[in-house]
Structure 1
Amino acid sequence: MRLRKKWWARPELEASPKVIIRPTEKKGKWKEEFKNNNEIHLELGCGRGKFVTELALKNPDKNYIAVDLKDEVLIYVLKKLEENDISNVRIVPLNISFIGDLFEEDEISRIYINFCNPWPKDRHKKRRLTHTRFLNEYKKFIKTNTEIWFKTDDRELFDESQEYFKESGFTLEYLTYDLHNSDFLENIMTEYESKFTSLGMKTMFLIGKYVNR
């Protein structure tokens, strides 16, 4: 669905200290931004923010960076943070292709990728956020033993992503083709997941862990 342009969204985002408009200036300085030494977790493609909002409320001892591209989406994330008086999340408007420009080595302790674009055509598969091209980029700034939590409803993407993780030196710590009927108890649903699970969609989920340098 095409989002209607919200011309007022960018000024509101720019006015908030929770939104980092020039995130490359924070490279190597994210702990200073959060004013503590807590772990920093990264959500790539945060949508309207249900997932990161619930995470932040449940884990006040963690910091979160929520990345997405469209102001029209991110303004909803900001409103959720403000409504819940959440201080441990920062919003970053960014094309995720440039994610490597934001962090120094060992700045990130976990990555969440939820229902990313499956890019089914062969010529587009390198755009997948779980492709080896991206996984190798993440390895430059994640700590050793960092986990990537990945959810999708696309079977081809899920199967091929397992190979991407293995090729990139990640071990698969957990894997299920039916998350909501599995023994995994820490799931938080995204807006997309809540809507389509009610219509019979199955969510696939894996945890890939990187242990080597």
Structure 2
Amino acid sequence: MRLRNKPGAMETINNHPEYILKDGSEYKGKWQTRFSKEQPIHIEVGSGKGQFIVNMAKAHPDINYIGIELQTNAIISILEKQLEERLPNLQLLLVNGADLTEYFASGEVDQVYLNFSDPWPKTKHEKRRLTFKTFLKTYEDISKPGAQLHFKTDNLGLFEYSLSSLSKYGMTLTQVWLDLHHSSYEENIMTEYEEKFSAKGQPIYRLEAQFNSN
């Protein structure tokens, strides 16, 4: 979804290199130096306006979070939240999620989040889905052995596709929710989209999966 252009967004981004990078390749293998403490690194690919990643960082100060977003007009909203919160365990990266191996070293990431990704429903666009096998390979390449991937969506078609794609890739599905908000799961932190869709009674689908530890 295209977001309204925010005047001065790029200027604000350029003025705060302590929180956001437009090219993180120089920190490949050295992301811990961007944080005040050396802790497990969790990344969210496609962070949107950042409600999830900011609240996760607030709720879990013992984890270092990196929000990855391609759209300037989305990531500026996260940066604005961060300028208010000044969270020591949150960094932002304005890059394409398909190029993560350029910015992270092998084994540098402990966990990956995908929240309400574009479903790309047409078959010809399958390769653009963030749970397509080439993306899974990218996540695995930068993650520690046995790392987890957590995925949420309101789109049943994308969820069913993702269940199949992860299974075919050889990942272990450790937990699956077909109606998250009517389950006993108590640790959920919602995204902006999640609040909108769940308020309309739309089921929210969620899964946790693990990469092969070998």
Q: TM-score, normalised on structure 1? A: 0.96
Does structure 2 retain, via aligned residues, the 8 Å contact 1:169–1:212?
no
Does structure 1 retain, via aligned residues, the 8 Å contact 2:34–2:91?
no
1:3 partnered with 2:9: no
Question: In the aligned structure 2, how far is the partner of 1:148 from the partner of 1:2?
Answer: 26
Does structure 2 retain, via aligned residues, the 8 Å contact 1:42–1:66?
yes
Question: In the aligned structure 2, how far is the partner of 1:35 from the partner of 1:87?
Answer: 6
Which residue of 1 is the match for residue 213 of structure 2?
Answer: 212
SS of residue paired to 1:166: helix
Which residue of 2 is the match for residue 174 of structure 1?
Answer: 175
User: 1:49-128 maps to which residues of 2 (within 5 A)?
Assistant: 49-128=50-129
The one-letter amino acid paired with 2:41 is I
Which residue of 2 is the match for residue 138 of structure 1?
Answer: 139
Does structure 1 retain, via aligned residues, the 8 Å contact 2:42–2:65?
yes
Which residue of 2 is the match for residue 25 of structure 1?
Answer: 26
Task: Name segments (4+ residues, structure 1) moved above 4 Å.
Answer: none
Mark the runs of 5 or more structure 1 residues left unpaired by the alignment: none
Once the two structures are overlaid, the 10-residue window that deviates more, 113-122 or 13-22, is 13-22
Does structure 2 retain, via aligned residues, the 8 Å contact 1:81–1:87?
no
Question: In the aligned structure 1, how far is the partner of 2:133 from the partner of 2:21?
Answer: 27
Does structure 2 retain, via aligned residues, the 8 Å contact 1:110–1:142?
yes
Instruction: State the superposition RMSD in angstroms.
Output: 1.2
Offset, 1:83 = 1.3
SS of residue paired to 1:148: strand
Offset, 1:101 = 1.1
SS of residue paired to 1:61: coil
Question: In the aligned structure 2, how far is the partner of 1:139 from the partner of 1:126?
Answer: 17
Offset, 1:165 = 0.7
Question: In the aligned structure 2, how far is the partner of 1:183 from the partner of 1:132?
Answer: 31
SS of residue paired to 1:146: strand
Offset, 1:2 = 3.2
Question: In the aligned structure 2, how far is the partner of 1:31 from the partner of 1:83?
Answer: 22
The one-letter amino acid paired with 2:85 is N
SS of residue paired to 1:55: helix
Does structure 1 retain, via aligned residues, the 8 Å contact 2:154–2:197?
no
Note the alpha carbon deviations across 1:97-140, whole angstroms, 9 max, x for none: 21221111110001110000001111101111111111011111
Does structure 1 retain, via aligned residues, the 8 Å contact 2:45–2:114?
yes
The one-letter amino acid paired with 2:185 is F
Note the alpha carbon deviations across 1:183-213, whole angstroms, 9 max, x for none: 2221100011111211111100000111333
Q: TM-score, normalised on structure 2? A: 0.95
The one-letter amino acid paired with 1:79 is E
Note the alpha carbon deviations across 1:158-201, whole angstroms, 9 max, x for none: 11111111122210000011001112221100011111211111
Mark the runs of 5 or more structure 2 residues left unpaired by the alignment: none
Identity %: 36
Does structure 1 retain, via aligned residues, the 8 Å contact 2:46–2:67?
yes
The one-letter amino acid paired with 1:22 is D
Note the alpha carbon deviations across 1:49-78, whole angstroms, 9 max, x for none: 110111001111110110111111111101
Which residue of 2 is the match for residue 200 of structure 1?
Answer: 201
Matched positions, count: 213
Which residue of 2 is the match for residue 151 of structure 1?
Answer: 152
